[in-house]
Structure 1
């Protein structure tokens, strides 16, 4: 229990609140848990452990609703998932040979690009050329390995198209669940996955489960336009945070 011993009471409460809040955003928008949770966890854990712990929580909550995700996701999600599995190790390698300063700039640029993309007019429901789908899968895999954030390429791809909200959410969440699984497998293969992280994930999971449930309920009660505004706000906040970190 050495990992848990490293947490004071205030840190544990902060982690629980962050887990609850980030899961609420996940349930509401269909993404955002890693973007919001990793920086908070990194205050008490190493950045690597924070990413891996978030991956555990993402897998846990994804498995809890896997039937709904499988039923509602678009077929394009499976193409992206396959490419994520192939390119995540490449992202990890690129991160290992990139200076931290340059890595922060790259991550900030991608986050800003995702925010700008979400502001573009919505495209048609069938407007997803195979080349576009493929590039989203490759970029998402690289971002999963490079920053533990598969979302920036995926969110504009689904939210920016004129498709039902639940289809977009199910597709994104299925991809993120599989991306997190790939991240854990890669961490285990590299020998950096600590078994004690599972204990902390179990401790935080009830807060994630409750937050996600409340977020889903709130999502069902707001108009589509309001939902898309919420998505844009979360992406915008992530872009600003990434830019501040890069410039700092």
Structure 2
């Protein structure tokens, strides 16, 4: 329980608010929980613990809606998931060798890269060459292990194409759920996973569940163009905030 004992009341409240806010964004856009939550948690926890705690939360919320994700996800998601499973351990191992200060800066720049990528021109619905899909899977796995953020390569890959919003969201969320599972398995294999993190995740999960449901409900009521603007705005805000905190 040492990990929980290190949290004061104010820190727990801040973590709950961050969990709620990041999950709301997840429900609204189909991504964003890790990008928003990991940099905040990394201010109070070691980067490794912040990543693994976020992985627990991502798995919990993903399992709560797994039927919808399996039904609506694009087939390309499974190719990416397979590559993520292979490359996640490499990213987590690199994180375990990195000093916390450097890791926080790298995590911030990863968030920034997602914002830059989303600004690229939109592509056709079928514009996903196997090499592109493979590259997205490899990068996503490395970023899952190193930063708990499979999103930076995945979000532009799906949101940047003219496919139905629900297909894009379900594909991204299925990948994120499986990527987080791979992160936890890798953490266990490398001996860096502390199971007290599961207890802390259980404490934060009600806030995640509520935020996700509210965001998903709102997502169904806004136009596609508005949704894509929200995606870009979230990525930009997260990148700037993470960079300021890392440098500061």
TM bin, normalised by shorter chain, reads over 0.9
Asked whether the 8 Å contact 2:115–2:239 carries over to 1, the reply is: yes
Distance 2:98 2:40 in 1: 24
**Higher mean displacement: 227-236 or 47-56:** 47-56
Aligned to 1:182: 182
Output the aligned Cα RMSD.
1.9
Q: What secondary structure sits across from 1:7 in the alignment?
A: coil
Which structure 1 residue ranges, 5 or more long, are not aligned?
A: none
User: Which residue in the other structure is 1:79 paired with?
Assistant: 79
1:119 alignment counterpart = 119
Which whole-Å deviations, capped at 9, do the CAs of 1:130-150 have from their partners, x for residues lacking one? Answer: 010000001101111121111
Q: Does 1:30 align with 2:30?
A: yes
Within 2, Cα distance between the matches of 1:7 and 1:51?
17
Alignment partner, residue 195 of structure 1: 195
How far the C-alpha of 1:238 sits from its partner, in A, is: 2.6
Aligned residues: 248
- Give the deviation of 1:2 after TM superposition: 3.0
Distance 1:15 1:157, change over 3 A: same
TM-score (norm 1): 0.93
Distance 1:135 1:41 in 2: 28
User: Could you report, residue by residue, the CA deviation over 1:87-133 in whole angstroms, capped at 9, with x for unpaired residues?
Assistant: 11122233345566665565455433322221222211101000100
Deviations 1:216-245 (A, max 9, x none): 001001110111011001111232234435
After superposition, the C-alpha distances for 1:146-165 in whole angstroms (9 at most, x for unaligned) are 21111100000000000000
- Aligned partner of 1:43 in structure 2 is 43
Greater shift after overlay, 207-216 or 34-43?
A: 34-43
Q: Matches of 2:203 and 2:98 in 1, distance apart?
A: 34
| Aligned residue runs from structure 1 range 213-224, under 5 A | 213-224=213-224
Extract unaligned runs of 5+ from structure 2: none
Where 2:161 maps in the other structure, the secondary structure is: coil
- Tell me the residue number matched to 2:229: 229
